[in-house]
Amino acid sequence: MKSILKLCSATIFISTLFLTSCGDDKPDAKSMDEIRNEEGIPVQVEEVKYQPFNKYLTFFSKLTGIKEATKGSIVGGKIEKINASVGDYVREKQIIVEFDTYNPGVQYEQAKSAYENLKKNYERVKALLEAGETSQANYDAIETQYIVAKRNYESVRQMLFIEAPFDGILVDMKVNVGDNVKGDVPLFTVSQTNKMRSKIWVSEKEISQFKKGMKAITEYNGQQFIGKVVEISLAMDPAKQAFFVEVEFDNPKGIIKSGVTNEIRILTYEKANAVIIQRSLVNNDEKGSYVFVVENNKAVKRYITNGNESGLFYEVSNGLKVGDMLVVKGASQLEDGSKVNVIQ
> Of the CATH numbers 3.40.50.2300, 1.10.287.470, 2.60.120.10, 3.30.470.10, which one belongs to the domain with range 70-187?
1.10.287.470
Q: What is the pTM of this model?
A: 0.67
pLDDT number for residue 28 = 56
CATH 2.40.420.20 domain extents, the chain: 37-49+282-342
pLDDT number for residue 18 = 44
CATH T-level assignment (fold) for domain 37-49+282-342: 2.40.420
pLDDT number for residue 35 = 57
CATH 1.10.287.470 domain extents, the chain: 70-187
Question: For the chain (length 344 residues), average pLDDT per consecutive 10?
Answer: 44 45 51 64 93 93 94 92 95 96 88 94 94 93 95 94 95 95 93 95 94 96 95 95 97 91 95 92 92 94 86 89 94 90 87
pLDDT number for residue 312 = 86
CATH 2.40.30.170 domain extents, the chain: 58-63+196-271
Is 58-63+196-271 CATH 3.30.200.20? no
According to the 3-state scheme, what is the secondary structure of the chain? CHHHHHHHHHHHHHHHHHHHHHHHHCCCCCCHHHHHHHHCEEEEEEECCEEEEEEEEEEEEEEEEEEEEEEECCCCEEEEEECCCCCCEECCCCEEEEECCCCCCCCHHHHHHHHHHHHHHHHHHHHHHHHCCCCHHHHHHHHHHHHHHHHHHHHHHHHHEEECCCCEEEEEECCCCCCEECCCCEEEEEEEEEEEEEEEEECHHHHCCCCCCCEEEEEECCEEEEEEEEEECCCCECCCCEEEEEEEEECCCCCCCCCCEEEEEEEEEEEEEEEEEEHHHCEEECCEEEEEEEECCEEEEEECEEEEEECCEEEEEECCCCCCEEEEECHHHCCCCCEEEECC
